[in-house]
């Protein structure tokens, strides 16, 4: 078949992700799609995938994506006439210790929150479902009946046939060699069989996605890792409908296959493959069998299923799988290019994700924005540091090794650290800081008192740092603390059309006079919250934007993508130019007055203003804002001067017992105050009105802003979900998020975040209360509430206002 000269959309890669994306583009959007595969369909990693299909993840949106996959695999054969090998066998997850059992109790609660039915079984009940299994060491097992298994090649061929049926054209044995690019936009895909002009490109090239992206200057941080499993001969007594098994404490998984078992695992000492380009001719190829490396899985598997010691091995599969540095796959619009989208890095669960990932990616390609909150898999979660191949390799191998570890809250990665440090790093270490890492930046999570081990000790209950963080929390409420927040992302927007451009992008009014701040959301076309940031007007045509550390690439790309065509406006990322010290607490003004001649009284420097002040001979941009509910300033300081300014603040604050404070205290402080966190409490799925942030949306705008039309369409209609806070009296209950909210005994939502408020001495959680008939004030007030915490129902009280008054720490009664 001759290649067409032009197509609306070119999909690169004929594995399950590429075929699913092409199928959904053609079926749902009637798009003119051409799919290019350098070898034959499935010839990359799809053909040797194990084919387990699980659905439950910690993200509601990703769980929805995986549930869609299952629904698609159930019915696809009816449309195409090609079987998918789908078998809803259910999945047993085994627990051999109490921490794992607590994890499963929390997972079962999450499943309930997301509308799934997960059961907890005794060891004997688990054995009844899989009689060949030894269970003497089990505490119990979880059971998700709707999980299953499928044939990766069969699904892919069925998706490919469906794509053709809806008009997509699929070309095998066509290798992409480059792109024609003009002004950051791909105009044509170059291949060894000719060029194809196009409007958009979707990179679903699997383990080749990194090098395909590199041809267009796009970073796709992947590392191929050798992943092994074996297929046994027939096993007497093994049922054809036996459930799949995940045995994470033994790092192994099992599924029935033609009367035998497929089993493999995730070892703590994984073997990366190449950090160079993956060979183009790696088609239907495997590595040599490596029984020495696989022995650790073989030993554990035989201990769990002794029959394996008496059965032959039919085949070992040792092939490369594409893994990512954080264990989540990659979807979305590449920030370096106007029209390349990526679907890659599926971390050995591409079959489970394939159907749903193709569905949402196709919608993303057509609309230019994600149809759901897909932040955890968005390619814009990465940054320039992810171009470092050695760093990506090291972090990816660590993530692989953690695949089956117990999911303790607050666990940090260790490899590749420290990567980026502020000039205060050594000073903070001297204060016994225990650091975490965010987008490469080392940030103090907490400070260990003298005599205490300065490290995190993971726990399913109260963490070892609980009391130390409580002391930091109270210090900010009662005295004054200083936070190193130099990792904040910072941009400068300038030009004669800067105000017009930001007014188009921002939901709040940024046309305030010079010297004023605006807290605002950036909205998508559905009215959902795509970003949450502060805009400071520092001149008539110059603005200073501050946003969260992890959102640096995402927020910058969103702003650039939505600048009005032809506008005279420039946006510069100046994150490394400024360090940030947040001075917070009732004595913050007392400290600042010792160091600057500028009047920082409330009358002269009110909340929501920005001033340039001088500290120790250095010009400092001071923003009067707070994320802790106390008097405070963010001090943005030329990075070379931050050490001197920090020392000056610490010296001036001695009379008020100033001390450095970490991010875990910041989290506790913001929970009491009711501040929302983007990515958890507010997401692209939530409108400002639902989130209780309608006050930050300008009304009756003549200029219009992105998302305004969607908000106008729902104005005056009853809200079907509303953001609310909850407190519980049980001193032993630990909230981590995703706990189910019960109203009058019925589930009405789940927590988006949770923690502890040391001022009020109670656990605090936030989430959305849902009701299709409307969530009125009366509906909220009239209910009796409980939270389901690791399957236990705990009485809770709802609160629609902060649990602590701002700036004076009075507890709400």
pLDDT, one tens digit per residue, over 435-467 is 999 999 999 999 999 999 999 999 999 999 999
- pLDDT reported for residue 408: 95
Average pLDDT estimate for 743-772: 97
**How is residue 341 written in tokens?**
């989208």
**How is residue 183 written in tokens?**
């002004």
pLDDT, one tens digit per residue, over 158-167 is 999 999 999 9
Cβ atoms of 678 and 531 within 8 Å: the answer is yes
- pLDDT reported for residue 811: 45
Contacts of 639 (CB under 8 A, 6+ apart): 422, 423, 486, 576, 577, 578, 579
Rounded to 5 degrees, φ, ψ at 426 are -65, -40
Ranges for all domains in the chain classified under CATH 3.30.1360.120: 578-656
- pLDDT reported for residue 335: 96
* Rounded Cα distance, 566 and 111, in Å: 48
pLDDT, one tens digit per residue, over 296-351 is 999 999 999 999 999 999 999 999 999 999 999 999 999 999 999 999 999 988 88
Q: What is the mean pLDDT of the chain?
A: 95
Does pLDDT of 716 surpass 70? yes
Spell out the CATH class of 6-84+150-223+326-381.
alpha beta
- 418 preceded by a cis bond (ω within 30 of 0): yes
Average pLDDT estimate for 776-795: 96
Q: What is the chain's length? A: 813
Q: For Cα atoms 530, 535, 536, give the angle at the middle one, nearest 5 degrees.
A: 175
Confidence of residue 50 (pLDDT cuts 50, 70, 90): confident
Cβ atoms of 207 and 381 within 8 Å: the answer is no
- pLDDT reported for residue 813: 29
Confidence of residue 807 (pLDDT cuts 50, 70, 90): low
pLDDT, one tens digit per residue, over 693-708 is 999 999 876 778 999 9
* Rounded Cα distance, 522 and 7, in Å: 33
Ranges for all domains in the chain classified under CATH 3.30.9.10: 91-146+224-320
Ranges for all domains in the chain classified under CATH 3.50.50.60: 6-84+150-223+326-381
Place of tokens 């305004």: 708
- Determine the 3-state secondary structure of 783 from DSSP: coil
* Rounded Cα distance, 788 and 469, in Å: 26
* Rounded Cα distance, 534 and 521, in Å: 9
Helices (H), 334-446: 350-367, 389-401, 425-430
Does pLDDT of 598 surpass 60? yes
- pLDDT reported for residue 283: 87
pLDDT, one tens digit per residue, over 203-245 is 999 999 999 999 999 999 999 999 999 999 999 999 999 999 9
* Rounded Cα distance, 751 and 547, in Å: 24
- Determine the 3-state secondary structure of 707 from DSSP: coil
Average pLDDT estimate for 70-93: 92
Residue 462: how many other CB atoms lie within 10 Å:
12
- pLDDT reported for residue 59: 86
Does pLDDT of 812 surpass 50? no
- Determine the 3-state secondary structure of 474 from DSSP: helix
Average pLDDT estimate for 534-545: 98
Spell out the CATH class of 578-656.
alpha beta
- Write b or e for each residue in 4-24: b if 16 or more Cβ atoms lie within 10 A of its Cβ, otherwise e: eeebbbbbbbbbbbbbbbbbb
Confidence of residue 806 (pLDDT cuts 50, 70, 90): low
Average pLDDT estimate for 127-131: 97
**How is residue 608 written in tokens?**
């929501």
Torsion angle of the four alpha carbons 76, 77, 78, 81, in this order, in degrees rounded to the nearest 10: 130
Q: Is 193 exposed, middle or buried (0-12, 13-18, 19+ CB in 10 A)?
A: middle
Does pLDDT of 777 surpass 90? yes
- pLDDT reported for residue 320: 94
pLDDT, one tens digit per residue, over 136-152 is 999 999 999 999 888 88
Does pLDDT of 49 surpass 90? no
pLDDT, one tens digit per residue, over 254-285 is 999 989 999 999 999 999 999 999 999 888 89
Average pLDDT estimate for 512-522: 98
- pLDDT reported for residue 149: 87
- pLDDT reported for residue 31: 98
**Partners of 93 in the β-ladder:** 142, 246
CA 624 to chain centroid: 30
**Partners of 756 in the β-ladder:** 763
Please report, rounded to a whole number, the percentage of residues in the chain having pLDDT higher than 90: 91
* Model-wide pTM > 0.75: yes
Confidence of residue 75 (pLDDT cuts 50, 70, 90): very high
Superfamily of domain 91-146+224-320: D-Amino Acid Oxidase, subunit A, domain 2 (3.30.9.10)
Maximal C-alpha separation, the chain: 86
* Rounded Cα distance, 738 and 112, in Å: 9
Q: Is 272 exposed, middle or buried (0-12, 13-18, 19+ CB in 10 A)?
A: middle
* Rounded Cα distance, 452 and 436, in Å: 18
pLDDT, one tens digit per residue, over 177-203 is 999 999 999 999 999 999 999 999 999
Q: Is 346 exposed, middle or buried (0-12, 13-18, 19+ CB in 10 A)?
A: buried
Does pLDDT of 810 surpass 50? no
């Amino acid at each position: 078949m001759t290649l067409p000269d032009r197509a609306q959309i070119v999909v690169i890669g004929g594995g399950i992700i590429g075929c699913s994306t092409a199928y959904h583009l053609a079926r749902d959007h009637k798009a003119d799609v051409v799919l290019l595969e350098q070898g034959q369909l499935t010839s990359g990693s799809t053909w040797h995938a194990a084919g387990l299909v699980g659905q439950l993840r910690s993200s509601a949106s990703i769980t929805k994506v995986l549930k869609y996959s299952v629904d698609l695999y159930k019915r696809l054969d009816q449309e195409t006439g090609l079987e998918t090998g789908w078998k809803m066998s259910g999945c047993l997850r085994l627990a051999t210790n109490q921490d794992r059992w607590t994890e499963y109790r929390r997972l079962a609660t999450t499943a309930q929150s997301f509308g799934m039915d997960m059961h907890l079984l005794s060891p004997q009940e688990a054995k009844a479902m899989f009689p060949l299994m030894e269970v003497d060491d089990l505490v119990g097992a979880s059971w998700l009946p709707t999980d299953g298994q499928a044939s990766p090649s069969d699904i892919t061929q069925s998706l490919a046939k469906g794509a053709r049926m809806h008009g997509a054209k699929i070309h095998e044995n066509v290798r992409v060699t480059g792109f024609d690019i003009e002004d950051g936009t791909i105009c044509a895909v170059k291949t060894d069989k000719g060029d194809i002009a196009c409007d958009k490109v979707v990179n679903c090239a699997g383990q080749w996605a990194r090098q395909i992206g590199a041809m267009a200057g796009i970073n796709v941080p992947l590392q191929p890792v050798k992943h092994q499993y074996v297929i046994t001969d027939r096993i007497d007594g093994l049922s054809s409908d036996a459930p799949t098994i995940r045995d994470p404490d033994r790092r192994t998984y099992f599924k029935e296959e033609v009367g035998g078992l497929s089993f493999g695992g995730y070892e703590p000492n994984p073997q990366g493959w190449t950090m160079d380009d993956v060979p183009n001719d790696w088609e239907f190829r495997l590595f040599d069998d490596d029984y020495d490396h696989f022995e650790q899985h073989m030993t554990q598997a035989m201990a769990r299923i002794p029959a394996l010691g008496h059965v032959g091995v039919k085949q070992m599969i040792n092939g490369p799988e594409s893994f990512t540095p954080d264990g989540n796959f990659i979807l979305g619009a590449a920030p370096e290019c106007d029209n390349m989208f990526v679907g890659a890095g599926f971390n050995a669960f591409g079959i489970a994700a394939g159907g749903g990932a193709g569905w949402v990616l196709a919608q993303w390609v057509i609309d230019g924005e994600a149809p759901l909150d897909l932040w955890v898999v968005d390619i814009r979660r990465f940054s320039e540091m992810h171009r470092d191949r050695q760093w990506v390799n090291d972090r990816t191998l660590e993530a692989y090794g953690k695949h089956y570890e117990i999911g303790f809250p607050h666990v940090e990665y260790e490899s590749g650290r420290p990567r980026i440090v502020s000039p205060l790093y050594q000073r903070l270490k001297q204060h016994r800081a225990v650091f975490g890492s965010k987008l490469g930046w080392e940030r103090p999570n907490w400070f260990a008192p003298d005599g205490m081990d300065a490290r995190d000790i993971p726990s399913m209950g109260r963490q070892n740092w609980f009391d130390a963080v409580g002391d930091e929390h109270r210090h900010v409420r009662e005295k004054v603390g200083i936070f190193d927040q130099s990792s904040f992302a910072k941009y400068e927007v300038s030009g004669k059309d800067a105000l017009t451009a930001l007014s188009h992008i921002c939901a709040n009014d940024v046309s305030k006079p010079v010297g004023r701040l605006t807290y605002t959301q950036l909205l998508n076309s559905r009215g959902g919250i795509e970003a949450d940031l502060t805009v400071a007007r520092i001149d008539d045509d110059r603005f200073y934007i501050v946003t969260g550390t992890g959102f640096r690439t995402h927020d910058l790309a969103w702003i650039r993508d939505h600048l009005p065509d032809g506008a005279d406006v420039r946006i510069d990322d100046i994150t490394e130019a400024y360090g940030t010290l947040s001075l917070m607490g009732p004595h913050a003004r007392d400290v600042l007055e010792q160091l600057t001649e500028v009047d920082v009284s409330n009358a002269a420097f009110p909340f929501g203003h920005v001033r340039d002040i001088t500290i120790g001979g250095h010009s400092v941009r001071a923003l009067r804002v707070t994320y802790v509910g106390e008097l405070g300033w963010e001090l943005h300081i030329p990075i070379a001067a931050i050490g001197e300014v920090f020392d000056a603040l610490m010296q001036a604050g001695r009379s008020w017992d100033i001390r450095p404070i970490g991010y875990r205290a910041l989290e506790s402080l913001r929970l009491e105050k009711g501040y929302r966190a983007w990515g958890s409490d507010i997401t692209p799925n939530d409108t400002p009105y639902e989130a209780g942030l309608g006050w930050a949306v300008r009304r009756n705008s003549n200029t219009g802003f992105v998302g305004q039309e969607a908000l106008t369409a729902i104005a005056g209609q009853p809200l079907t979900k509303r953001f609310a806070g909850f407190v519980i009296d049980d001193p032993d209950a630990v909230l981590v998020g995703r706990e189910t909210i019960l109203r009058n005994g019925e589930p009405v939502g789940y927590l988006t975040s949770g923690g502890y408020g040391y001022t009020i001495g109670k656990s605090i959680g936030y989430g959305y209360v849902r009701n299709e008939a409307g969530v009125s004030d009366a509906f909220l007030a009239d209910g009796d509430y409980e939270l389901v915490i690791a399957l236990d129902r705990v009485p809770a009280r709802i609160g629609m206002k902060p649990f602590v008054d701002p700036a004076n720490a009075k507890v709400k009664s």
